[in-house]
Amino acid sequence: MKKVASFIVNHKKFILIFYLLAISMSFIGMRFVRVEYDMSSYLSKDMNSIQGRDILEKQFDIKGTAELMLVDKKPYEVVEIKNKIEDLPGVQKIIWMDDAEDIKKPVEFMDKATYERFQRGNYSLLQIQFTGSNDSKITQDSLKEIEKMMDGEYYLGGQAAVSGETQNTATKEMTYYSIVAVAIITIILLMATSSYLEPLLFFAAIGVAIIINMGTNFIFGRISTMTFSVASIIQLAVSMDYSIFLLHRYHEESQIGDKKDAMVRAIEKTFSSVSSSALTTVAGFLALVIMKYGIGKDMGLVLAKGVFLSLISVISLLPCLVLITDKKFSSYKHKILLPSFNKISKWIVKFRNVAIILVALIAIPAFLGQTNLKYYYSDEKTLSNDKKAVVANKKIDEVFEKNNELIVIIPKSDKAKINGVVRDIKAIENISSVEGLYTMVDRAIPESFVPESVRKAFVSNEYTYFLVGIGSDTEGEVTKVTIENLQKLLKNSYDKFYITGEPAIYLDLQNVTSSDFVNVSIISIILIGLILLITFKSITLPIILVFVIQLGIWINLSIPYFQGEVVNFISFIVIGAIQLGATVDYAILLTSRYKENLEELSPLEAMKKTISDTGRSVLTSVLILVAGTFSVYFITTIKSAAEITLLIGRGAIISLILVYVLLPALLLIFGRIIGSTTFGWPKPIKIENNRGCEK
């Protein structure tokens, strides 16, 4: 490492030019990264619901969909609006009452089910199908044009509208909370450092790593909207302390000898501790890759790559920036404003037994609470209730008494068989309606008499499909039972069939992710436990350190349970790996320094000094992580992004408390066991007090 450090220090211009080129290439790379807003796209292609969706796209040209509810429009006006919208680029077709009925006929002569599907009083409902997916640019451009041509009262909802709302919200809010996060973190860094210039250098080093991380995401082709929303803030928050550790070490080393030599020593001595810290964080993120649901791989790889790039940038770019600006540091000095832990360290050690009792009382309820926490899957639930698409969907559901819809795709066969299947489907409990070509058109009418546009809308060369309304939410036990009953019925008639639509996709999602939380937790614990075992050459220390942070995860996840809240399933799955990987560093730092202090002090005095030595550094790290994540939480209106950032920020605070309240007590109580199971652990020093008694 000394040779690498010497190369960095002696080739500052080369390194700066390299990073300028890397930044330029990264900005180009960002243009080739697509943000994926459809969470179901991360499901396996061999799932029944995804196969069904693919058939709808390929054989029926049904990709993106939206619903437009017009108010106080006469039938001929609705037809005029429909025709104008159908002429827009990106619009495949629009289904309304005129596709199945002669709108000039009196209402009493129309099929009641067909009429009520598209018309309720003065409300008219049009179903819009697009040539592109819900989140594609062509679909979103079409939605904008539709809104431009609307006059009077109208409601534009459906999946494409929700996707567009999510895109607009994520892009706009990301700028806001990034600015707020940077401002608050700057204040924290100014309080934690002794120079006004240091925060600028920190942001430069980590900021470059963030840009390169965003640019190199082109190797994945796309990243999810959740990863896009939080990755940069998390990368900034979890890796900023690497810069702090390096610069503090440089200040210590620069008091003796040449500045360049001091930086070489600082890089050399900091690398092992910082790389160990980064390694545990990377391990926690990489544990997400084993998720069956593809978004885990997406988030895990992006975050792990970001932390690795931050480490490289801190070790190579930051030293160059520091040496170039070093002469100006002395002109911009100020006092460190963060409080020290000198007084509180005595109280923590004194009341260590009380801490053990309190934690013991909390542990079991916390474990049981997080075990019973409920979570949701629906994309629409991630948006706030005041968003236009959400308001529109609720109004449409209210007026048309709409239920959630499944799409049942079956092989094309004779009418008698299909009508029998439709009759059996209607008899299933919780199914409120079944609609398709053979329910909209009188069975006595030959199929050749049906308008081609209507026929093609529901029948292909191989399949026909039905819209099946269910009288329950998009997810839940009732919906699950309904879909399972539908599957059993269809198996009796067809060897091959498909059930898709949001409820079916969410059920498949639930089945896939049911084991992900446990698997991710186990893998992250094993990976980080192995790193701790190698770092400390100990059997007991990895168990103690991981237990402390794992308890913090239980407490963190139990809070929403006791508050009666539900959380997004992704937040529930990934928080364990993220909190463990990002905050176990606090426990590593405290334990490592305690080991050093045991060389010269008794256990109690060593622990007091350890808390004093490390408290300010860890507090700085926690405050940065909290500032970054809470900035997103308080600003964003995307519920899933708010939930995961709240969990990460709150988890950091809980981990801080446990590391400085519970961990010291455990290290002191199990001192002898640790000593006998840890290679090179110092033997306790016995110090006599004034009365000649051993402390």
Show the 3-state SS of 302-316. HHHHHHHHHHHHHHH
Of residues 116 and 144, the one with the higher pLDDT is 144
Please state, in angstroms and rounded to a whole number, the distance separating the CA atoms of residues 182 and 206: 12
339-372+515-695 has the same fold as 1-31+193-337 = yes
Find the mean pLDDT for residues 466-488.
86
Topology given in CATH for the domain delimited by 339-372+515-695: Multidrug efflux transporter AcrB transmembrane fold (1.20.1640)
Of residues 256 and 481, the one with the higher pLDDT is 481
- Check residue 694 and give its pLDDT: 41
- Per DSSP, the three-state class of 155 is strand
- Check residue 688 and give its pLDDT: 45
Structure-token match 């080093």, residue found: 205
Does the domain at 388-512 match CATH 1.20.120? Answer given as no
* Per-residue pLDDT tens over the stretch 336-358: 767 778 888 889 888 888 989 99
What residue type is 382 in one-letter code?
T
Q: Which of 105-114, 216-225, 330-339 has the highest mean pLDDT?
A: 216-225
Please state, in angstroms and rounded to a whole number, the distance separating the CA atoms of residues 651 and 580: 9
- Check residue 185 and give its pLDDT: 87
Q: Which alpha helices (H) appear in 31-74, and where do they start and end?
A: 48-60
- Check residue 206 and give its pLDDT: 92
Q: Which alpha helices (H) appear in 150-294, and where do they start and end?
A: 159-192, 198-216, 225-253, 259-286
What is the pLDDT confidence band of residue 687, given thresholds at 50, 70 and 90? low
- Check residue 328 and give its pLDDT: 67
The region of weakest confidence among 139-153, 245-259, 647-661 is 245-259
The region of weakest confidence among 297-311, 428-442, 622-636 is 428-442
Find the mean pLDDT for residues 402-423.
82
% pLDDT > 90, the chain: 32
Beta bridge partners of residue 254, listed in sequence order: none
What is the pLDDT confidence band of residue 658, given thresholds at 50, 70 and 90? very high
Does the domain at 48-164 match CATH 3.30.70? Answer given as yes
Average pLDDT of the residues of the chain:
86
- Check residue 329 and give its pLDDT: 62
- At how many degrees (to 10) do helices 352-371 and 342-350 cross? 80
- Check residue 293 and give its pLDDT: 85
Instruction: Show Cβ contacts of residue 520 under 8 Å, excluding neighbours closer than 6 positions.
Output: 287, 288, 290, 291, 296, 573, 574, 576, 577
- Check residue 450 and give its pLDDT: 60
Please state, in angstroms and rounded to a whole number, the distance separating the CA atoms of residues 34 and 132: 15
- Check residue 693 and give its pLDDT: 41
Find the mean pLDDT for residues 199-203.
88
Of residues 534 and 327, the one with the higher pLDDT is 534
% pLDDT > 70, the chain: 94
Find the mean pLDDT for residues 363-379.
87
* Per-residue pLDDT tens over the stretch 491-534: 988 888 999 988 898 888 888 887 888 888 899 899 999 999 98
Name the phi and psi angles at 404, rounded to 5. -65, 150
Q: Domain coordinates of the chain in residue numbers?
A: 1-31+193-337, 48-164, 339-372+515-695, 388-512
Q: Which of 123-137, 211-225, 470-484 has the highest mean pLDDT?
A: 211-225
- Check residue 190 and give its pLDDT: 84
CA contacts within 13 A on the Cβ side of 392:
23
Residue 690 has pLDDT above 60, yes or no: no
- Check residue 193 and give its pLDDT: 75
Residue 214 has pLDDT above 90, yes or no: yes
Please state, in angstroms and rounded to a whole number, the distance separating the CA atoms of residues 157 and 70: 11
- DSSP per-residue letters across 546-566: HHHHHHHHHHHHHHHHHTT--
Please state, in angstroms and rounded to a whole number, the distance separating the CA atoms of residues 295 and 293: 6
Of residues 114 and 593, the one with the higher pLDDT is 593
- 206-243 in b/e form (b: 16+ CB < 10 A) is bbbbbbbbbbbbbebebbbbbbbbbbbbbbbbbbbbbb
Structure-token match 């529109």, residue found: 392
What is the pLDDT confidence band of residue 441, given thresholds at 50, 70 and 90? low
So what's the architecture of 1-31+193-337 in CATH? Answer: Up-down Bundle (1.20)
Strand 154-157 relative to strand 567-568, pairing: unpaired
Residue 415 has a CB neighbour count (10 Å cut-off) of 13
Of residues 453 and 638, the one with the higher pLDDT is 638
- For 437, the enclosing helix (H) or strand (E) is helix 437-440
Find the mean pLDDT for residues 420-424.
87
